[in-house]
Structure formats: structure tokens, C-alpha cells
Structure 1
């Protein structure tokens, strides 16, 4: 009986420790600029009724999900690559397709940009007024520094001077 009680106590202590670690970790993430918080349910409708506002919401989502690949601060003066993607999202926030519109043939940067969109899906549901034929078309630019990390143009800081 005593052994059973100590096992239950140890399990409860482990659960409490895990719960507290998750709370502290989440708090640290929210307080840190380097690790934006990912919305719990990305497919919820957004309050944004403009394409630019919705595009900023998407950029924030992409950055949050791919935070380890994002450059914090001002992008360098001469960028390694600028990749422009066009992607389509349906009324439910599902990614339909993605295509490269501009590239300097940096295959690694292209792959990171494409994967960052895919990883961030599903997206917040777009406002119905933004949809054309049941989808919304978004173009976004990935600005890559020489270290391979990126910022998205719609939420990026101004580039450094040469």
C-alpha cells in the first residue's frame, strides 16, 4: 500500500513539474522578441478586413512558426537573396498552392521560403470580402541575410545602409 501511494505521489509530482515547465517556457517565449507566440488555433477568423492587414497577420504567423530561421533586427544592406512567393489560401485558411515569382536561383533560400509557408499552414480564415473565387492570393517577399535567415518584407525593419 505504501509503495502504491509513493508511485502515485511521484506521478503527480512529475505531472506538476511538466505543467509548470510548460507555463514557464510559454511565459519566456511571450516575453522574448526572438520567439513570437503561435496562436492556439490558427484557423480562427481574423478581424482584418483588408488584404494588407491579412498579409501582415500571415507574415506574423509564418515568422512565429519558423522563428529559428528568422533574422531579428535590421536586414543587412546587401541581401543574399530575395525570394518572392505567391500563395493561395482558401476560405478555411488552408494553403492551396505556392509558386515562386522571383528568385536569384538560390535553391536553399527558395526551399526555406517554400517550407516556411507550408509549415505555417493552416492560416487564419480570411474575411469573406477578401476572397475571389473562394480563395485569396497573397504575394510576399523573403529577405535573406548571408547567414540564411530571413525576414518577411511586410513586417521587416528597414534595411541597413551600405
Structure 2
């Protein structure tokens, strides 16, 4: 009986691993090169991440993928044009509930880009149920803007240039 249970459990685990889907890129630097992976979700579009920080990276990857023409993939320049911090919340279904600028240098163009890129990326992968507080997950993200108006998200950003 135990052997049958263990065998069945192993089959279910393997089946779960093979039915994950992908929704957004994950960028990592490997020496001087970077590669893009995709965010893993379960068949019901729930993120496989079990921590708030992991879920935040999933959302950053989703934002980056959807807004790829507005994102730069090299290291941020030494003196950034703008840094915009946005606080936002996502419900259990992955829908953006609200967003607001928490910090900025008052560059209206970059503020609008940050908020629009967040809205455009929805719906997001669903957060794991244990991450929800009162039916939502509260997060903040920092948009780092180069002079050309393209951005990188701090959760995924490469180290900033020295000069």
C-alpha cells in the first residue's frame, strides 16, 4: 500500500512539473552574457513562486516581456534620468487592483511610462494563496530610466555603471 502511494505521488509530481507553462522572461547575467528564461506557472496560471520576493520577480519579468521595446537590457547608466517607485496591489486572480507613484523626480513622462507599463502587463500570474493578505498582495517596484526613456526594473536590473 505504501509503495502504491509513493508511486502515485511520484507520478503526480512529475506530471505537475511537465505541465507548467510560461508567461514572462527572466533575465540573468552569466558573465558578460545574459539569458532569458520564462516564468513558470501551474496550469491554472498560479505562479510557482512561494515567497513575496519571488512573486515580485515574476511580475517584473512579466512587465519586462510585455513592454520589451521600452526596456534596456544592458547595465543602467551611471546617472539615471529618473527613478520611479510604484506601489501596487494584485488580487488573487492576478488582476492589478491599484497603483500609485511613491517616489519620483517629478518627470511626468517617466511616471506615465512606469504606470502604463504596469497596467499593460496585466493580468499577472496568480499569486500563491498563502501570499494573499485580505485578498491581495501589496508590492512595490522601482523603474530605473536611462536618458533615452527606456527602463529596467530594479528586481531584475544589472549593476549600475560606475561612470
- Is the structural similarity TM-score above 0.5? yes
Deviations 1:134-153 (A, max 9, x none): 00001000000000000000
Query: What is aligned with 1:53?
Result: 54
**Is 2:85 the partner of 1:84?**
yes
Tell me, which stretches of 5 or more residues in structure 1 are unaligned?
Answer: 1-32
Structure 2 unmatched ranges of 5 or more: 1-33
Does residue 104 in structure 1 map to residue 105 in structure 2?
yes
**Would the aligned equivalents of 1:86 and 1:140 in 2 still touch at CA under 8 Å?**
yes
Whole-angstrom distance in 2 between the partners of 1:42 and 1:66: 24
Change (3 A) 1:43 1:150: farther
Higher RCO (C-alpha 8 Å, min separation 6): 1
Q: 3-state DSSP class of the match of 2:155?
A: helix
Runs of 4 or more above 4 Å deviation: 33-43
State the 1:74 CA deviation: 0.2
TM-score by length of 1: 0.75
Partner of 2:74: 73
Bigger Rg, which one? 1
User: Which structure dedicates a bigger proportion of its chain to strand?
Assistant: 2
Alignment partners' CA distance in 2, 1:50 and 1:39 = 14
Structure with more helix by fraction: 1
Report the Cα distance in structure 2 between the residues aligned to 1:113 and 1:38, rounded to whole angstroms: 21
Deviation digits for residues 58-106 of structure 1 (CA, Å, limit 9, x no counterpart): 0000000000000111000000000000010000000000000001000
Q: How many residues align?
A: 130
Whether the aligned pair in 1 keeps the contact of 2:41 and 2:47 (CA below 8 Å) is: no
